[in-house]
Amino acid sequence: MKSQFQQVALIGKYHSAVSGTVAGSARAALDDIAQFLVAEGCAVVVEQATAASAGLTGFPTLDVIGIGEQCDLGLVVGGDGTMLGIGRQLAKYGVPLIGINQGRLGFVTDIPLDNYRAILTPMLRGEYAQDQRSLIQAQVMRNGECVFDAVAMNDVVVNRGATSGMVELRVEVDGHFVSKQRADGLIVASPTGSTAYALSAGGPLLHPSMQGFVLVPIAPHTLSNRPIVLSDAMEIAIEVVSGRDASANFDMQSLASLLHGDRIVVRRSQLSVRFLHPKGWSYFDTLRGKLHWNEGG
């Protein structure tokens, strides 16, 4: 029985493939996976920048738009950052994604590279669990006009400048005033992003099936400013009241510089990303493995 996926795109951790050693390692891993996919009956294409950076030849290449329009599966080899970047770009096409972990933590790239053949073989034949993740839509509004528009899978983070003091932020939810906060910044995270920066800042974990946001202050001046979980049907607005060199980060991969009076408006995107996991996959297994919950007992 051959793969149920006819055309598979291979996407790698190409941003780090700059030194000869890293590029050689990436090329070897990608080539091995590509050959495996061909043996499973898949037509393989390589994402254009991945092929160029890793020096991978012998397979046709497509840009992200081409992958979205022509492929029925994306196989992402790298870490969570690689998956975040390509997931946002492919979300509007509905292409499902499988992650092979060549990074560190791997909350959403959960297949270990050294055992990918045994795990991928049944998945390619239709034995997998599906996991739909909502995206965040965010806009920076300045004098009533949108000056920056982005989607994020993990989080939207409003930060103080690197060499400045705290920022003061005014927070509204569905048009209702919530608080003014003086802090190093504020995180709005999706359930997917609750295991990222929000967790480091003391936020709670949200199960990915939840339809919610978590709002987490970063080093607040007033310790009673605590994380709060909100419905993602709500609209969150964060206004920059004071503070120098503030910025808004989207998945820590795109950046907008902010002025006093700017409003960062956050809502649930209409787009979502579809992940495929091995049959029997459990979010709690992932947490135990990545957060080492079984150690020290």
Helix segments in 134-271, DSSP class H:
197-200
- Residue 195 in this model has a pLDDT that exceeds 60: yes
| CATH class name, domain 7-126 | alpha beta
In the chain, which segments carry CATH 3.40.50.10330? 7-126
State residue 23's pLDDT score: 60
Joined tokens for residue 252: 């820590």
* Average pLDDT score, the chain: 92
The pTM (predicted TM-score) of the whole model is: 0.92
Task: Quote the CA–CA distance of 228 and 124 in Å, as a whole number.
Answer: 40
State residue 66's pLDDT score: 98
- Residue 19 in this model has a pLDDT that exceeds 70: no
Task: Quote the CA–CA distance of 207 and 47 in Å, as a whole number.
Answer: 31
In the chain, which segments carry CATH 2.60.200.30? 135-271
State residue 15's pLDDT score: 52
Average of per-residue pLDDT across 59-87: 95
Task: Quote the CA–CA distance of 111 and 144 in Å, as a whole number.
Answer: 45
Average of per-residue pLDDT across 174-194: 97
Contact by Cβ (8 Å): 87, 273: yes
Task: Quote the CA–CA distance of 189 and 212 in Å, as a whole number.
Answer: 9
Q: Find residue 136's DSSP bridge partners.
A: 152, 268
> Other C-beta atoms within 10 Å of 206: how many?
21
Residue with tokens 């770009």: 89
State residue 103's pLDDT score: 67
Average of per-residue pLDDT across 36-51: 96
Helix, strand, or coil here: 48?
helix
Question: For the segment 86-117, what is each residue's pLDDT rounded down to a tens digit?
Answer: 999 999 999 999 999 986 767 888 899 999 99
Task: Quote the CA–CA distance of 16 and 28 in Å, as a whole number.
Answer: 15
How are beta strands 176-183 and 167-173 bridged, if at all? antiparallel
Contact by Cβ (8 Å): 212, 231: yes
Contact by Cβ (8 Å): 284, 277: no
Comparing 216 with 14, the larger pLDDT belongs to 216
Question: For the segment 80-91, what is each residue's pLDDT rounded down to a tens digit?
Answer: 999 999 999 999
Considering the segment(s) 135-271 as one domain, its CATH architecture is Sandwich (2.60)
Joined tokens for residue 238: 């964060």
Question: For the segment 210-265, what is each residue's pLDDT rounded down to a tens digit?
Answer: 999 999 999 999 989 999 999 999 999 999 999 999 999 999 988 999 999 999 99
Catalytic residue numbers read 80
State residue 296's pLDDT score: 61
- Residue 297 in this model has a pLDDT that exceeds 80: no
Comparing 64 with 56, the larger pLDDT belongs to 64
Question: For the segment 132-156, what is each residue's pLDDT rounded down to a tens digit?
Answer: 999 999 999 999 999 999 999 999 9
Q: How confident is the model at residue 289 (pLDDT cuts 50, 70, 90)?
A: confident
Helix, strand, or coil here: 222?
coil
Task: Quote the CA–CA distance of 98 and 109 in Å, as a whole number.
Answer: 7
Contact by Cβ (8 Å): 44, 59: yes
| Phi, psi angles (nearest 5°) of residue 164 | -105, 175
State residue 18's pLDDT score: 47
How are beta strands 7-12 and 128-142 bridged, if at all? unpaired
| Phi, psi angles (nearest 5°) of residue 60 | -65, 155
| Phi, psi angles (nearest 5°) of residue 154 | -90, -65
